[in-house]
């Protein structure tokens, strides 16, 4: 009886916990999005039995836009009747034509690899004579009524990327579209865009709806007739609304992921060349210019973006590629200024030099109704010196639920203060978050060759004493940093501050509280007012990539504060 009572009590607690999480998650989502999600799920089940009426064939437009971004030549290659596809972890081999559906049980990364296979962005890397045949192979191997089609091959997000990939290759390579083989390809594009109209991702929004919009606008520009005009009008209406919603006044995309910021900026450049003259294009130009300015501030000296929140170093276009596309479409971008900078709506603050970047995160996880890409990284930081990354963000290992997904998002994985057994926000599943922390900027002031930042968050308020984590960062004129972390109350648990090092960093211990870090040509010194522990860790620069590294860990006895000093280019005599 006691065992039964204990099990019942535990089950009740779990149910209450689940309801609480659900409430915290759903109370921020607009009812129209919840309704859209429910109706979409019903329509997905009915789609295989949907009767497709007669559709009048589309005509190709005579004047077609050209892609604004240069083709990439390293996404795929064909060798000996095999397709080699570059994925996040390396090169994956497929037969020719590829098996479009993964065979269970598969690799850990299968979901990501096969999604890329269906995106077909790699067409730009393949020879001209094989691209039409590969498109025909996809059409033959992926009927709309295939079981599970809406979960992979005909999933609206995947479909949106693939449609633009096909259309851009057609425009770039200037094929003779009067040939017989282009009729089925044209009809497939019409069918895919027709499905996209029915399943627009207005329940998710964010970067997903931007990809939908890009596909609609390119469909409207590459074809002519009433159907194409409907796609163009629908894409324009949606774009106008999302520009207002998704681009913050400081130019950062509202999901607050530098990686997704790159993706959306690239999508906007694609939308720009598909739009005709008018007020909407002028509005889009303003957003693109603001996003380009922000991107230059979020880019490390190595040419890659910071890794706050979800994202990776290769899933989106590199900043240099986006800058070339920007220059092609709108002219040369304004060079980024050196010195202290603030992107207050996004919550990014720091210092940029010619070969240095220090950046802090003091913003929300994302828009309240879409924080699935957010991490528990409030008051975390990244640091590059002499062109080399020293302190790195954890990165993202996977999007599927599991241990590594949780680690990617956990407080203890980021360069901030962590409390044993607690998280800043209640992250769970793959993209879920219940209770969420709130960050607050208390002060940011630019000083002579430096700055002073003071921020805090309330993510640990549910613990005994309702402790607040405060962080003060000061940069002096010599490029030295002083980081002071304070916990305002004792939560009754161990607390510590972590700093994840780039894998190429070598550690030289000078004293229990003092380390010298070598990442040539950068040499920095880290000095704490408590012993610094070095623990084994891993960095996730790309999906399904784990690179061994080390994490520095400094204990903090709450309530109280701990100071860590970062000093670049120390004298060898020190």
Q: What is the pLDDT of residues 128-149, one digit of tens each?
A: 999 999 999 999 999 988 777 7
Closest residue by Cα to residue 550 from 495, 509, 492, 507: 507
pLDDT of 4 reads 42
Closest CA to 457 of 487, 429, 433, 431: 487
Residue 169: closest CA among 258, 96, 75: 75
| Domain ranges (residues) in the chain | 26-49+61-223, 348-568
CATH fold for the domain made of 348-568: Beta-galactosidase; Chain A, domain 5 (2.70.98)
Cβ 67 vs Cβ 168: under 8 Å: yes
Buried b (16+ CB within 10 A) or exposed e, 260-278: bbbbbbbbbbbbbbbbeee
Q: Which residues pair with 322 in a beta bridge?
A: none
Quick one: pLDDT at residue 31? 86
- Identify the segments of the chain with pLDDT beneath 70: 1-14, 51-56, 571-574
For the chain, the distance separating the N- and C-terminal CA atoms, rounded to the nearest angstrom, is 69
Report the distance separating Cα 535 and Cα 76, nearest Å: 38
Quote the CA–CA distance of 431 and 409 in Å, as a whole number: 10
Contact between 220 and 338 (Cβ < 8 Å): no
Nearest-5° angle of CA 58, CA 64, CA 68? 135
Q: What are phi and psi of 218, to 5 degrees?
A: -70, -35
168 Cβ contact partners less than 8 Å away, ≥ 6 residues apart: 67, 124, 218, 270
Q: 250: which residues sit within 8 A by CB, 6+ positions away?
A: 290, 294, 342, 343, 344, 345, 346
Helix, strand or coil for residue 141?
helix
What is the rounded distance in angstroms from the CA atom of residue 225 to the CA atom of residue 471?
59
Q: Which residues make beta-bridge pairs with 349?
A: 342, 360
């Amino acid at each position: 009886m006691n065992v039964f009572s204990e099990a019942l009590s535990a089950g009740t607690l779990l149910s209450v916990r689940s309801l609480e999480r659900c409430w915290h998650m759903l109370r921020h989502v607009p009812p129209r999005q919840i309704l859209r999600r429910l109706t979409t799920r019903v329509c997905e089940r009915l789609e295989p039995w949907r009767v497709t009426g007669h559709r009048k064939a589309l005509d190709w437009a005579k004047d077609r836009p050209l892609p604004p971004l240069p083709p990439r030549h390293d996404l795929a290659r064909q060798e000996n009747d095999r397709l080699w596809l570059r994925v996040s972890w390396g090169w994956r081999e497929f037969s020719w034509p590829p098996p479009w559906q993964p065979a269970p049980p598969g690799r850990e990364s299968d979901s990501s690899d096969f999604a890329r296979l269906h995106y077909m962005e790699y067409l730009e890397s393949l020879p001209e004579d094989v691209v039409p045949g590969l498109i025909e192979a996809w059409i033959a191997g992926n009927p709309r009524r295939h079981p599970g089609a809406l979960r992979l091959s005909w999933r609206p997000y995947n479909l949106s990327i693939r449609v633009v990939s096909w259309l851009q290759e057609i425009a770039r390579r200037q094929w003779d579209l009067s040939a017989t083989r282009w009729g089925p390809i044209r009809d497939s594009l019409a069918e895919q865009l027709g499905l996209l109209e029915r399943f627009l991702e207005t329940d998710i929004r964010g970067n997903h709806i931007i990809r939908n919009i890009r596909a609609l606008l390119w469909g409207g520009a590459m074809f002519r007739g009433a159907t194409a005009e409907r796609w163009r009008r629908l894409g324009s209406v949606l774009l106008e609304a999302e520009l207002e919603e998704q681009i913050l006044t400081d130019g950062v995309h509202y999901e607050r992921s530098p990686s997704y910021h790159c993706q959306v900026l690239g999508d906007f450049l694609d939308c720009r060349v598909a739009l005709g003259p008018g007020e909407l294009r002028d509005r889009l130009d303003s957003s693109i210019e603001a996003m380009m300015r922000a991107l230059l501030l979020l880019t490390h000296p190595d040419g890659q973006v910071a890794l706050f929140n979800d994202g990776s170093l290769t899933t989106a276009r590199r900043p240099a590629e986006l800058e070339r596309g920007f220059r092609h479409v709108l002219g040369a971008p304004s060079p980024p200024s050196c010195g202290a900078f603030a992107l207050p709506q996004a919550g990014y603050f720091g210092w940029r030099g010619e070969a240095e970047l220090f950046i802090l995160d003091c913003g929300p996880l994302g828009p309240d109704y879409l924080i699935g890409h957010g991490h528990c990284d409030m008051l975390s930081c990244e640091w590059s010196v002499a062109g080399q990354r020293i302190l790195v963000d954890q990165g993202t290992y996977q999007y599927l639920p599991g241990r590594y997904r949780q680690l990617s998002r956990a407080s203890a994985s980021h360069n901030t203060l962590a409390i044993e057994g607690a998280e800043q926000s209640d992250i769970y599943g793959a993209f879920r978050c219940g209770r969420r922390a709130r960050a607050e900027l208390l002060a940011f002031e630019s000083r002579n060759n430096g700055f002073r930042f003071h921020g805090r968050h309330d993510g640990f308020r549910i613990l005994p004493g309702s402790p607040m984590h405060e962080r003060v960062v000061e940069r002096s004129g010599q490029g030295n940093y002083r980081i002071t972390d304070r916990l305002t109350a004792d939560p009754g648990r161990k607390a510590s501050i972590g700093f994840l090092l780039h894998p190429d960093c070598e550690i030289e211990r000078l004293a229990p509280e003092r380390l010298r870090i070598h990442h040539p040509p950068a040499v920095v010194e880290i000095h704490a007012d408590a012993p610094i522990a070095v623990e084994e860790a891993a960095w996730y620069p790309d999906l399904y990539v784990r690179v061994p590294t080390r994490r520095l860990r400094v204990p903090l006895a709450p309530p109280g504060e701990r100071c860590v000093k970062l000093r670049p280019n120390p004298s060898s005599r020190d």
